[in-house]
A = this chain, B = another copy of it.
C-alpha cells in the first residue's frame, strides 16, 4: 500500500502548514488510524483556489480529447491502486468489501461516462442563428451560443460514498469534464481514502500533462476549511452531498459573498413509498421483502433510503407491516461510516420514538461483532393525523429505518402527499387499476420529487443519461440540477454567445463546418450538418 503522508495536495505539490489535528477512526472499533491530518490553513485554502484559477484558461482551452484522456487516466489510476485502496476504505468506513468494490467500479464508470460525454461533444448545447443581412427593418446579426466552464469548483467529499461521491466522485468528474479545475475538501471520516484517490488524480494529471492547478485537495475536520473554500472569491461553484444543516450553511455562506455563487447541495430526503391497496393485497409479502432490503442496504446510509412507508389501513396493510417488522427484526445491525452518524441515528430514533402517537413495530435484535458501533434497523409506525401534525416526522432519519404511516382514506392519503416537502424520490407500488384510481396521487408526487419509481425501490441510482438525482428543497438546494448521470455536467457550465465573430474567434463547436460533428440547434432545429 502506498504510504500515506497526511498532507494536503495543492497545485500538484504536497503541503502541510499546520500540525496534524485529527485522525480517521475505524468505525467498528473506534481505533484511531494513522497518519494524522491537519486542518488546512487559510493560506493553504487560498493557495488551492489560486492554483485552480491559474489553471482555468489553459484547462478550459484544451482539446476535448485531452480532457477525456485525463478523466479516463484518473479511472485507470484508481484501478491501479488495487486492493490497497479498498483496504484503507474498508477500515475507514466499515462498509463491506463487496460494496466498496462495486462502488469503485461505479466511480470509474462515472469517469468514463463523462469522458464519453466530452468526446461526443454535444453537451455544450451549441446553437446557431445565422445573419440575415437583408432583414427589415434591421438586419439580424450572426448569433452563436454554447456552454463554457464556470471556473474553479469546490467539491465536498461525502461520508456515505467514500469513492463515488467523494474525491473523484460524480461532482469532481462532472466539473472536470465541464472544463473546471476542482478543489476538493476531503471528508474527515476517510482522509486516507481521500489521499490515495487524490494522488491517483495527480498521477493522471501528470501522465496526461494537465495544468498543475487542475486539481487540489485540502483536509479539515471543522467547518472552517469548508467555509473558507466556499467564500473564497475565486471559487465559482460548489458541489456538496451531506446533511441539510451543513448544506444549508454552505448555501447561505455562498449567497452572502460579494459575488454569490451556485451551490449544488444534495441534502436530506425521506423518499416516501406508497403501497397502494391492490398491490398490497396481491403481493404484500414480496413488497415487504423488497422494502426491508432497501431500508437496510448499506445500513440505511443511502440518500434514497425509503424512510417513509404509506399505506391505507386494511388487513392486508396490517399483514404487510407485520411481515416488514419481522424482516427488520431479523435484519443484522451494521456499522455506520463514522461514530457521529451512528450516534445521530440513535438520537433521532429516540426522539421520534418518544413522540406521542409513534409506535415501534420492530427493532433489530441481531448484531455483529461490534454491537456498540452498529445501527439497528427499525420499523416505526404512526397514523396520518399524527404525521400531519408533527413536521418532524416528515424529515429524514438517516439510517436503516422506515416510518410507516397508516391512512384512513384515499382523501387522507392525498392530503398527506400534498403536505410533503421535497424529496429525491417517491415510490408507488401499484397495479394498473391502482394507477388509475390514484392518478391524482401521481400528479401530486410529480411536484414533490426528482424521481418517481413505480413498483421498484429507490435505492440504487442508475448512472445514465436519463437519470435525475435531485429534487425540490430540502432534498437539494437547486431542483434543476442532478448530481448523478450525464446531465450533471451542465451544473458547471454557463452559456456564452458570440455575435458576428469571425471564424478564427469562434470555438470549434460553433464554426460553420462543425468540425467536431456535434449536434447543434441551427435556427431552432437539431442537426449535425454544417451551416
Interface residue ranges, A against B (CB under 8 Å): 56-57, 61, 120, 122, 127-129, 138, 140-141, 143-145, 148, 150-151, 251-252, 255, 259-262, 421-422, 432, 435-436, 439, 442-444, 446-447, 449-456, 460, 462, 464-468, 470, 472-474, 477-480, 482, 486-487, 493-502, 504-505, 519, 521, 523-524, 526
With a cutoff of 8 Å between Cβ atoms, the chain B residues found around residue A468 in the complex are 145, 495-497
The answer for the CA separation of A13 and B241 in the assembled complex, in Å, is 45
A482 pairs with B462, CB closer than 8 A: no
Interchain CB contact (< 8 A) of A524 among B451, B482, B486, B498: B486
B464 pairs with A140, CB closer than 8 A: yes
B143 pairs with A467, CB closer than 8 A: yes
Which residue of chain B lies nearest to A479 when distances are taken between CB atoms in the complex? B494
The distance from the CB of A466 to the nearest CB of chain B, in whole angstroms, is: 4
The distance from the CB of A481 to the nearest CB of chain B, in whole angstroms, is: 8
Would A129 and B462 be within 8 Å (CB), given that A451-B497, A467-B145 are in contact? yes
B462 pairs with A140, CB closer than 8 A: yes
With a cutoff of 8 Å between Cβ atoms, the chain B residues found around residue A456 in the complex are 141, 499-500
Would A523 and B465 be within 8 Å (CB), given that A262-B480, A474-B259, A480-B494 are in contact? yes
A127 pairs with B526, CB closer than 8 A: no
The answer for the CA separation of A151 and B444 in the assembled complex, in Å, is 12
The distance from the CB of A298 to the nearest CB of chain B, in whole angstroms, is: 15
With a cutoff of 8 Å between Cβ atoms, the chain B residues found around residue A502 in the complex are 432, 435, 454
B466 pairs with A482, CB closer than 8 A: no
B450 pairs with A496, CB closer than 8 A: yes
Which residue of chain B lies nearest to A120 when distances are taken between CB atoms in the complex? B524
Most chain B C-beta atoms within 10 Å of own C-beta, residue among A262, A450, A494, A500: A494
The answer for the CA separation of A453 and B499 in the assembled complex, in Å, is 5
With a cutoff of 8 Å between Cβ atoms, the chain B residues found around residue A460 in the complex are 138
A454 pairs with B260, CB closer than 8 A: no
The answer for the CA separation of A436 and B505 in the assembled complex, in Å, is 9
A259 pairs with B61, CB closer than 8 A: no
Interchain CB contact (< 8 A) of A526 among B129, B450, B497, B526: B526
A450 pairs with B495, CB closer than 8 A: yes
With a cutoff of 8 Å between Cβ atoms, the chain B residues found around residue A255 in the complex are 251-252, 255, 260
The answer for the CA separation of A252 and B493 in the assembled complex, in Å, is 23
